[in-house]
Structures are given as structure tokens and as C-alpha cells.
Structure 1
Amino acid sequence: MSKKRGLSLEEKRQRMMEIFFERKEIFQLKEMEKIAPKTKGITSMSVKDVLQSLVDDNMVDTDRVGTSNYFWAFPSKASNARKRKLADLTSQLEVSEKKRTATTKLITKATVGKEKSDDRTTLLETLSEKEQENNRLKVELEKYRECDPEVLEEVKRQTAVSREAVNRWTDNVFAIKSWCKKKFSMEEKTIDKHFSIPEDFDYIE
């Protein structure tokens, strides 16, 4: 029989938030250390660290009264926090899209009529960084799937716009490769190596 897997930090955080939302009460640490193990399977030893992580992320409020610390969180605050997070992510996606568009224009200008360009390598690296940033933001957005549908739809639209922009740039690169093969009778592998184009360079699905 396999050993039962312990709860991950994220699972503990979610379950602790359930305690706040279900009871809608204010708790002291010692109270939470009794409630969490019994109702949510969170070990008492980890309650303090989990609570602190939620406080650090502004998901749980805390205040000190006398010698005691009190903790509370209500559903309305969590909803507003998620909406703010989505708004921040949307803003980051917009900035990423603007940078990608600017990069595309620079690459197009830099490669017209040129067989080799140091700027091309730099721009390819920049595009790769932006693609990684875009992927990271999409992963971050996935955590907030259950938030405001209208905001989420707008974020998805922005992601689609970013994907189209990257694929337009990919079209440009393939067009330039085709031109080089015809103009200079170069093999595709030689072109890729000459211009530092990755082997897995392709459209984004």
C-alpha cells in the first residue's frame, strides 16, 4: 500500500482560505492551529507558515491587539484581490505585446537586403525572452480561471493578439530564409546556423 501524499503548500493555502470563507470569523493563531488539523487536514506545525504566506500575499488580514495577533479574510476581499491580479496581468500582457510589435518592426528593418546582422541575433534573443514571458503570464493567468469571466475573456483576447503578432514575425523570418535560398543558393541548415535561428523555430499554436 502506497504512503499517503502530504498536502502541498498551495493545497494548504486553499484549505485555510476555505476556513475563513466558511466561518467568516476572526481567529487567533492558536485557534487556527486547533481548527485547521481537524477540519482541513493541515498539520498544526505548518499553520503559522501557511498563515504568514497568505498574509504576505495580502489574502489574509492581520492585526495585533494587546499581546495577541488576529487573522481574518472575507470572500469579498479575495474576489477584489483576484480582479486586481487579473488587471495587473492584463497590463503586463499589453506591455509585452507592444514590445513584441516594436521588436518585429526592428527585425524587419534590420534584415531587408542584408545577409548577416549582429542586431538580428540580439532581436531573436529578445523575441525568445518575450515568448518566455508571455508563456509565464499565461501560466499565471491559468491560476485565476474561476475569476471574473469578462476580465478573463479580455485577457484571453490579448493572448491571442500576442500569438498572432509572433506568428506574423515568424512569417517574415521564413520569407527571408526563402529569399536567401533563392538569391544565394544556400541550404536551409546553413541559413539557420548563419543567422542563429534555432532548430525548433516555428509558429506558435
Structure 2
Amino acid sequence: MAPKVSCNPLKLTSIVTYFQKSRVAHNIKDLEKHLPAVASINGMQVKDYLQSLSDENKINVEKIGSGNWYWSFASQEKKTAQKAFDDAQSAHDKASAVNEDLKLKLADAQARRADEEDMLDSGGESREELIATKAELEGVMKLLQKELAAYSDDDPTELERKTRETAGFKAEAGQYTDEIESMDGWLKSKVPDEEQMKKLRELMYGDELDVEEGMLRELV
């Protein structure tokens, strides 16, 4: 229960000092008799001051028999302060560990981002994007070839337009192929081990790998 009056910090300190110097437990009647003179407070304020000190763990309160007994020992206050310090130190250590972990994760993320940016700067697009674009273009070329076959006997003008369009797509696909091969050369300079490079090409090119040549399959 909160005290009914605002307690003066200096008077609270004087009460704690009185408890610690007495080195005994006091009942409420004893305290109501002595504390007004000790702390210069009104007798009606004694319980409020005791409640405030109890709430702040500055004194101990224990019900014994029919009444409460109050005490405070200097050694106990030292233990309380030490415990508070130990708890604070433990919290600080945990916070420091979390901080270091976050720093490592941030550094790792920044390093990975820098690697990705280097790859993008060297080729404009990532290997995955280039391979996906190449596959998409080749798929479009196959569809166009089927359409050309259907139109070849009926519309010579449409056939000529489709032929030019197909040639454009093929040239664009060839350009992407050149970029992929350029990136392959850059990657090879970073991975001098031939066996490791072979595994990387198998992973990157998949079905588009020319097994005999060990390189990207030529466009047909």
C-alpha cells in the first residue's frame, strides 16, 4: 500500500540510520514513540514513512504474533546493493553479447551485399537473371518458328516479318550468351580450381551445359 504523505528523503535516511545503529527489531509502538524525535516527523506520519521504506526495500517487515516488527541491518543493505550491482552487470554482459552478435550479422550482411553489387557491376545482371532471360528468349524463338511454319505457305509478307523478328530475337539471345560467357570468365579468375569451376558450371548452366566442352551450350 502506498504511503498517504510525500516522504522527505533526508528523514527517510535518518530513520534507516536509526534502525541500523540500534541493531534490533522494533514494534510499531516503539517506533511511534521514538521516530518523531529521530526524524522530526509527526507521530501520525510514522506508518507512512515505514511503508515508504518497506516499499523501497530499505527496511524489513515481518508479522510476528499480533503485530509487525521492523528492522534493517547495514550488512543487509550492502548485500542488496551488491545484488543490484550483480544484476546490472549480468544485464550489461548480456546486452554486450547481443550487441556483438548483431555487429557480426551486420558485417556479414554488408559483405554479402557488397559481393552481390560487385557481380551486378561486372555484368549488369546476375547469372540467374541472364540464364532465365536466355531460356525465355529461346522459348519465344521456338514458338515463333512454329508460327513461321504455319504462315510460310499462306502469307509471304508475314513470313518475311517473322523471319526478321526471329533474327532480332536470336541476336538478342546471342548478346545475353556473350554476357554469360563474360561472367563465366570473371568467375573463373576468382575460382582457379578447375574441378570446383566445373561444379559451379554444372550448377549454373544445368541442361544448358555442353558436357563435352564443359561450357555453355551454343545457340542453335
TM-score between the two structures when normalised by the length of structure 2? 0.42
Which of the two has higher C-alpha Rg?
Answer: 2
TM-score between the two structures when normalised by the length of structure 1? 0.44
